[in-house]
Amino acid sequence: MKSVIVIPARYGATRFPGKSLARIQGRPMIQWVWEAACRSRLTQQVIIATDDERIADTGAKFGADIVMTKKSHRSGTDRMAEVADKISAHLYVNVQGDEPLLSPGAVDDLIRAMMESPRIPIGTLAHRIESEEEWRSPEVVKVTCNRHNEALYFSRSPLPFQRAYDPKTRLLRHVGIYAFRSRALETFVSLKPSPLELAESLEQLRALEHGMTIQVIETKYRCLGVDTPADLARVEAALRQQAKAPAIRKAKRKKK
């Protein structure tokens, strides 16, 4: 089964124009995402899909495959569908271009689940919510599932509703990485935005409203996306912490 990772990247982000090219430790953010995606063991190709020559030129310099797409696309999924029209594959994985700390292992978990269950048209990831603040935040997209780990609903509101926050409840935060089978992708982008999608501003609700199944694979990967310039500082701090970790482990071994 051929799987292709597509990284949609546009220059004109509302809250952070040009964020794909924002520098993190001297490298553009899109390069961090691309390099992480290339470490996936279960994908055959990684493509940056963009409508901007600046992003295309930057990607070409570090060796990425680039597909130029229309400026009129409403979402990254629409951009990925244009790639699918040009490059044939069984599975298309949409990785956000603002996830510089992307986990290749989490992407492989998603691809593996799709490979093992051919009946799944769409797959996505979610991780456990660890605080009441996270559960209540409208910036955090929550998902609730049935017993087969198929999505029942996604929302920016606390989901499921509880009179009081209970950490023992299985509360899941959606991670915005999707895998589409080719036919499911073609079907999805042919559908008009749905009422719940527009109300919640969540594209995945279009699939649920039209009866499409979204399988949710639980992961330990906790996304740290970049939506604003302030988020860059959090990413830089996380990278510094990661760099310290090997030295700390080495020091502990010496003490023993």
pLDDT at 243: 75
Instruction: Say if residue 36's pLDDT is above 90.
Output: yes
**Which burial class, exposed, middle or buried, applies to 209 when counting CB atoms under 10 A from its CB (0-12, 13-18, 19+)?**
middle
pLDDT at 252: 54
CB atoms within 10 A of CB 207: 25
Question: What is the residue extent of each domain of the chain?
Answer: 3-255
DSSP 90-151: SEEEE--TT-TT--HHHHHHHHHHHHH-TT-SEEEEEEE---HHHHH-TTSPEEEE-TTSBE
Element of type H or E holding 247:
helix 229-255
Residue pLDDT, tens place only, 142-190: 999 999 999 999 999 999 988 888 888 899 999 999 999 999 999 999 9
DSSP 20: G
Residue pLDDT, tens place only, 188-239: 999 999 999 999 999 999 999 999 999 999 999 988 878 888 888 888 888 8
- Does the domain spanning 3-255 belong to CATH 3.90.550.10? yes
In total, the chain counts a number of residues equal to 256
